[in-house]
Amino acid sequence: MGLADIRERITAAEEKAGRAAGSVQLIAISKVQPIERVAAVLDEGHRLFGENKVQEAAGKWPSFRETHGDIAVHLVGPLQTNKTKQAMEVFDAIHTVDREKLARKIANQAQALGGCPDLFVQVNTGAEAQKAGVLPEEADAMVAACRGMDLSIAGLMCIPPVEEEPSLHFALLAKIAERNGVAGLSIGMSGDFETAIAFGATHVRVGSAIFGERVYA
């Protein structure tokens, strides 16, 4: 396992699905990974990373951007409304827009900042009580509400229930995206990203298969 292996598997999955090479972006999930592991992946030339927490990202990435140049960092964890301004300054994309109150805060900050990260609406495809995201039947209204606030929606994101077949959830999200004219699909993680690519993933989120098991303090 490692970055080169994951890249090869993505290329093979793109080809098998009849998709153009390079049509899937690999987000290396670097949350709670030791700095030296992140630096090693940067040294291999990778430049797109994912973080779960605003504070962790704010403390980690400014120095890496100074030393390694053009890096993109995406927020893939939940966002509290009181962290919106900081998140919009730190991240190039937010994959977890899951309620209108947050969208409104983002819209207001976008006006003040004169710009906005790419936005993905998170859909709770398994209707799990412990998981964030709008319910599938509310997704159309959420996309419309965001657009009504002059927010452009780059994609949809979901995290399937661990005990269920992920392809069912990927197919559902792809259907919602298609009928809403949304291009991006942030689906697929270490265990199922090849399946996600077959269902149209534009972004796959892979952590431990690149960096090794996470190290929690």
User: How confident is the model at residue 214, as a pLDDT?
Assistant: 72
The rounded mean pLDDT for the chain is 96
Please, are residues 145 and 176 in contact by the beta-carbon 8 Å criterion? no
**Amino acid of residue 214:** R
Query: Quick one: pLDDT at residue 184?
Result: 98
Pairing status of strand 25-29 against strand 203-206: parallel
Per-residue pLDDT at 84 exceeds 70: yes
pLDDT tens digit string along 138-174? Answer: 999 999 999 999 999 999 999 999 999 999 999 999 9
Q: What is the pLDDT of residues 53-81, one digit of tens each?
A: 999 999 999 999 999 989 999 999 999 99
Q: What percent of the chain has pLDDT over 70?
A: 99
Confidence at residue 213, expressed as pLDDT on a 0 to 100 scale: 80
Q: Are 54 and 71 in contact (CB under 8 A)?
A: no
User: What are the tens digits of pLDDT across the range 85-131?
Assistant: 999 999 999 999 999 999 999 999 999 999 999 999 999 999 999 99
Supply the pLDDT for residue 216. 63
How far are the Cα atoms of 99, 139, 144, 174 from residue 29, in angstroms, in the given order? 24, 25, 29, 22
Q: What percent of the chain has pLDDT over 90?
A: 95
Give this prediction's pTM: 0.96
d(C-alpha 214, C-alpha 208), whole Å? 7
Per-residue pLDDT of 171-216, as tens digits, reads 999 999 999 999 999 999 999 999 999 999 999 999 999 998 876 6
And the tokens for 206?
């892979």
pLDDT, position 217: 59
Taking the C-alpha atoms of residue 115 and residue 110, their distance in angstroms, rounded to an integer, is 5
